[in-house]
Structure 1
């Protein structure tokens, strides 16, 4: 059963700085406790990551996954699952909009669908952790 969630938050940095932090996917383990390893396997012509292999562990479940990243300028980063040991589907995005005060409004969305039946409360817990990390972890990382 696929589960979707979203979270909107503000970052005290301009959109280019926030996008630069998101593009630095190899640094995900620095601000996302779920991500253990990240390896960029290929890049787009502009040097941004395209295919990325990662190991993530959430609620005691470790997943080896490969995702493809796409971008719409400096406003949107999206990814979709190519392969995974634990998921049938994963799609996510960050949409960045400048604030009047020079900061960035971020809209984060995530859809996951586990391969094996997982109790609903665990899926919801994993989703909450992902949404919190996407906001609090990113805000802290950008500010450091």
Structure 2
């Protein structure tokens, strides 16, 4: 059964600064708890990654996945190409400028291969949501400060 979750967070940065951090997949294991490794397999005409291979561990479950990315003005979306643990995954970040800040809307739908106990699923979803919002915000602010 597919699980759909969403969360919003305000980040003190421009959409471009946030998208640059998201696009730097090789650095993702440095700031995103679930990501053990990430390797860009293909790059689109815009220079942004279009296919990425990742090793992700959440709630004690490790998964090797390949994900296809699409980049628009202030939106990045993705779909699962292959995975050992999921039937499907679709997600997106939508970035809405708010003065000097950006409202980041994150949403993801995941369909695991096997049914998981509720407490395991809840822990996995929380880890994913925290990494996608709070850990992203921390990384963006750290990168921005280092400029």
Question: How far apart, in 1, do the equivalents of 2:13 and 2:50 lie?
Answer: 25
- Residue among 118, 130, 133 paired with 2:131: 133
- Residue among 111, 115, 118 paired with 2:109: 111
Question: How far apart, in 1, do the equivalents of 2:28 and 2:2 lie?
Answer: 24
C-alpha root-mean-square deviation of aligned residues, in Å? 0.8
Question: How far apart, in 2, do the equivalents of 1:120 and 1:90 lie?
Answer: 19
Which deviations, in whole Å up to 9, do the C-alpha atoms of 1:9-34 show, x marking residues without a partner?
10011111111111112211111110
Q: Normalization by structure 2: what TM-score?
A: 0.94
Q: Number of paired residues?
A: 142
Question: How far apart, in 1, do the equivalents of 2:81 and 2:108 lie?
Answer: 15
What residue in structure 1 maps to residue 11 of structure 2? 11
Q: Which secondary structure state, in structure 2, belongs to the residue aligned with residue 139 of structure 1?
A: helix
Q: Normalization by structure 1: what TM-score?
A: 0.95
The worse-fitting range, judged by mean Cα deviation, of 114-123 and 34-43 is 114-123
Pairing 1:81-96 to 2, within 5 Å after superposition: 81-96=80-95
Q: Which secondary structure state, in structure 2, belongs to the residue aligned with residue 55 of structure 1?
A: strand
Q: Which secondary structure state, in structure 2, belongs to the residue aligned with residue 47 of structure 1?
A: coil
Question: Would the aligned equivalents of 2:9 and 2:134 in 1 still touch at CA under 8 Å?
Answer: no
Pairing 1:59-74 to 2, within 5 Å after superposition: 59-73=59-73
Deviation at 1:121, TM superposition (A): 2.1
Question: Would the aligned equivalents of 2:86 and 2:110 in 1 still touch at CA under 8 Å?
Answer: yes
Deviation at 1:104, TM superposition (A): 0.6
Gaps of 5+ in 2: 143-147
